[in-house]
Structure 1
Amino acid sequence: MKKINFRNLHRDLGYFYIGLIVSFAFSGLMMNHRESWHPEKYSTETKAIEVKLPAESEINDDFAEDLGKKLGIDDKFRRQMTKKGTFKISFENHDVEIDMETGKGEIVSFIKTPIISQAMKLHKNTSDFWIYYSDIFALSLITIALTGTIMIKAGKFSWKNRGWKLAVAGVVFPLLFLILFG
């Protein structure tokens, strides 16, 4: 039986998954900042509106969804909230913001940003196919990591002398970050 060449296996798996690794990293960066901007959407139109709102205690999901329909929004309702005197409704492709006091506001319409919106789906997709594919990808990353540990022979930079310490630090760092800032 032929001996497995871990250096070649490591190299070939690395080449095979480089595109997906970059896509996941790019998607992850955008997902980390999705509250600050709409990375998967961009504004195409802003329309001024004026509506009469009921008392804040009467505003709920049903009211928000119905108001959206009255305003001509027919896409999927996501959520509604009232914050700092502003009534906000989020739909799949529209955001509505209305000043609670004056009833004046705006509808912002969005369309999907090509490539970016598809890349962000890498972190959101829950189809059975994608879950299995992601599991295979995760196992491959583990394989790449483990084959990388045995590529460097004995010496001052080997797994035995230095690598394991850096690997432990790589596990401890995010755990500390989560404990301190999570």
Structure 2
Amino acid sequence: MADKPRGRRFSWRGLVRVVHGDLGHVAVGLTFVYALSGLAVNHIADWDPNFRNHEEVHELGGPLAGNDEGIAQTVLARLAIRDTPQEVYRAADDQLDVVFERRTLHVTPSTGRVVDEGQEPRFLLRMANWLHLNRGKKAWTYVADTYAVGLLVLAVSGVLMLPGRRGLLGRGGLWLLVGVLVPVLYVHFSGGP
């Protein structure tokens, strides 16, 4: 009688490795988004991570006559701007502001000088910040919560994967302790909450 082929024995460490590897690949994409956005938003005092600001000065060659709407139309025509302003108003006696969604023209009618300032969105970074700060709420909250749980699974499975001196009972445990101590010591020495 032929021997029955023996099946592979179940290994919980093997299962942990498979789950850790597959979940880790999914987490890499989300981690890129969150890490990039985190770096950008951490330095918000130094720069605007959502918009690129610009300013340009135009000299239209002398005084501009007429009422506010007429002056605004003259400026738009000379600068070849086809967009319709959201608002035209006097910011001061000799300053007319022509406002668009992300752009404002500051016109000095007595000289014909126009300061054109505005913002252009930083495409990928603005999207990443919007997601990271959960501005979309609704379904993204579930995605973010699932990602957070996934990171916890990765952390626990990573700790359990290596046995003995390389794992939790050895070098791995020391590194885990360092990871816990970093925020605890920072809060303690910075006088946190």
TM-score of Structure 1 vs Structure 2, range by shorter chain:
0.5 to 0.7
Gaps of 5+ in 1: 49-65, 76-92, 96-105
Structure 1 length normalisation: TM-score?
0.64
Task: Measure, in 1, the Cα distance between the counterparts of 2:120 and 2:26.
Answer: 32
Percent of aligned positions that are identical: 26
Structure number with greater Rg is 2
Aligned CA RMSD, in angstroms, stands at: 3.1
Q: CA deviation at 1:145?
A: 0.5
What SS does structure 2 have at the residue aligned with 1:175? Answer: helix
Aligned counterpart, 2:55: 45
Q: How does 1:146-161 map to 2 (within 5 A)?
A: 146-154=156-164, 156-161=165-170
Q: Work out which of the residue numbers 92, 102, 112 in structure 1 matches 2:121.
A: 112
Q: Work out which of the residue numbers 2, 19, 29 in structure 2 matches 1:19.
A: 29
Equivalent residues, number: 138
Aligned counterpart, 1:80: none
Contact kept? 1:46, 1:109, Cα under 8 Å = no
Task: Measure, in 2, the Cα distance between the counterparts of 1:171 and 1:47.
Answer: 53
Task: Measure, in 2, the Cα distance between the counterparts of 1:19 and 1:130.
Answer: 15
Structure 2 length normalisation: TM-score?
0.61
Q: CA deviation at 1:3?
A: 5.9
Q: CA deviation at 1:150?
A: 1.1
> Which sits farther off after the overlay, 160-169 or 8-17?
160-169
Q: How does 1:2-151 map to 2 (within 5 A)?
A: 5-46=15-56, 71-73=97-99, 75=101, 93=102, 108-126=117-135, 127-151=137-161
Q: CA deviation at 1:124?
A: 1.9
Q: Note if 1:174 corresponds to 2:183.
A: yes
